[in-house]
Structure 1
């Protein structure tokens, strides 16, 4: 086939290299490097995960992962452009190339992983769906919500799980479907619905946003789903996927090794072989990823390890580590070996 194509090209005075039909599209890795900034899709505003602070600076667990990728790629965690996306916008924005990655409390499911032209490359938060109600309702269990109106965002696993769970428990409900997170939350607090449903971490974030009024609301005990949340890239863009995946793993591995933003400089000359590989003294892992060999050092120095990010962003919401602890402490956070 190759010979026939060459012969045909020669016959018409062309070369294969000049044929636009055969040209390869630029990879995300190369596009990001040329642009000098990572375009990262994040939530429109979810405290603890992705939200601008009072100075307009984006903060959160998902935001830190975006910065970790920038630190790995450029040696500079500030080289990120944050693109706030609603649940319905997020996948289209990634598919179209508007963003290079999603780091936006997005649940990894079989359908999303196989039918959208996208790849999930890790899990940075294990969560589950729950319900929040006003304490004055006196509701103690989600099974008491028969006939309730429930606020929910469209285009989410939350919406699908809600329907499944109520049907499985022979309960009725009326959905109040609103696209933007801020608006669905406002509708709940305004009394337009009896309950709000989303990931438990999201409920904790929304409740904390009420300040002194937070105690007026209660998160019910039922967790009705598995919600493994993590970063997403376009399918088939393996070099870029590798970098995002291992930036995530580097934050977990650093915590396991006891490396923090405050002490990592003290370990640059460590005799521990694993730490030597991690900080780039040996191993050449940066070269394998197409970046500087100090890529993992740059992540920890500039962003911190996973535990630091969790303590800084998620714990203030009243959420404990739980299954998001390291595997060495009974949790599910686990990095493949840096070897």
Structure 2
């Protein structure tokens, strides 16, 4: 029996619709499997693999007992407390600037928490999913006090030490090019090598995020002999990142950081969070504590996740005071939004 052209067109269109539906179903299934993979891997392993700096005072450093400490380290511990119940369930992997993105892209680490600037290029071409800002910074310069240099434009013709493979390199080039000034870069792969070269006199100045300059100065023999110039030549929002394509894991890291910020705003500290949340009728605190709306379920976690973070790691202020204040940096723009700073958490609701 002959089949009409109309019937053939109908069959073709129906087949296409079926193919699209099947493709969509496969994509959704694949997306779901991918989104669960990091969390499942972390739970199976019993530890989070966290990429950190090889050693930077205030952000990632080894204390006298041999344990890793720092603002970035605390973020890793916070995620571990949320996901695995204990903040010490972390495998720290020190990474230099060049290798940090490769380690994340390859799946060698689950989370990168290494004073990394959030940029468009890194968010797109490098495949990083930034999950927030845990330190608002800016690029600057440090010189020896005996140099007599007061502002950055006086560095015309200077040799400047810089960490290779960082956004700082580009910021340095942009600053001098836009002012039609000359300079000679002296690049090294590690912060320690940059510091040593600067101290040895192989460059006239060193450039980096101002927090890193303060960290470098804090470990020098005579910190007062070195001056961080007042110029801030860029904005450097530093924060943790995960590999693109896993939204559930990104949300867990994002809201672990937000929990530390929100807890400071709510006045919840490590010492008293259990007592405060147990006795409070405030719905905002009840939601934070998992007693209302089951917000943990939306992340794939239990409802006590945020309380564990604060109890074991502390709120943002506690982390800052413990790690950053000792290197001589006040809160500045890293104050809470209500105190005139830039630090803010979206609502827990």
1:259 paired residue among 268, 271, 277 = 268
Q: What residue number does 2:147 align with?
A: 137
2:256 paired residue among 243, 247, 250 = 247
Preserved CA contact (<8 Å) 1:269 1:276? no
Distance 1:335 1:187, change over 3 A: same
1:206 and 2:216 correspond: yes
CA shift, 1:2, in A, is 9.5
Preserved CA contact (<8 Å) 1:59 1:313? yes
Q: Deviations over 1:41-86 (max 9, x none)?
A: 1011000001111221111100000000000001100001111001
Displacement over 3 Å in runs of 4+: 1-5, 21-26
2:234 paired residue among 212, 225, 231 = 225
1:36 and 2:46 correspond: yes
CA shift, 1:204, in A, is 0.4
Aligned residues: 327
Q: What residue number does 2:106 align with?
A: 96
Q: What residue number does 2:132 align with?
A: 122
CA shift, 1:260, in A, is 0.1
Preserved CA contact (<8 Å) 1:38 1:100? yes
1:107 and 2:123 correspond: no
Q: What residue number does 2:320 align with?
A: 310
Q: What residue number does 2:9 align with?
A: none
Q: What residue number does 1:296 align with?
A: 306
Distance 2:19 2:317 in 1: 58
Distance 2:304 2:33 in 1: 30
1:215 and 2:224 correspond: yes
* Secondary structure of the structure 2 residue equivalent to 1:105: coil
CA shift, 1:266, in A, is 1.4
* Secondary structure of the structure 1 residue equivalent to 2:279: coil
CA shift, 1:290, in A, is 1.0
Q: What residue number does 1:78 align with?
A: 88
Distance 2:32 2:195 in 1: 47
CA shift, 1:30, in A, is 1.3
Cα RMSD (Å) of the superposition? 2.1
Q: Deviations over 1:251-291 (max 9, x none)?
A: 00000000000111211231111111111122211111111
Distance 2:32 2:214 in 1: 49
Distance 2:292 2:19 in 1: 47
TM-score by length of 1: 0.92
Based on CA coordinates, which of the two structures has the bigger radius of gyration? 2
1:287 and 2:267 correspond: no
**Structure 1 unmatched ranges of 5 or more:** 6-16
* Secondary structure of the structure 2 residue equivalent to 1:82: strand
TM-score by length of 2: 0.90
Q: What residue number does 2:6 align with?
A: none
What aligned pairs does 1:112-191 form with structure 2 within 5 A after superposition? Answer: 112-191=122-201
Distance 1:190 1:43 in 2: 23
Distance 1:274 1:62 in 2: 27
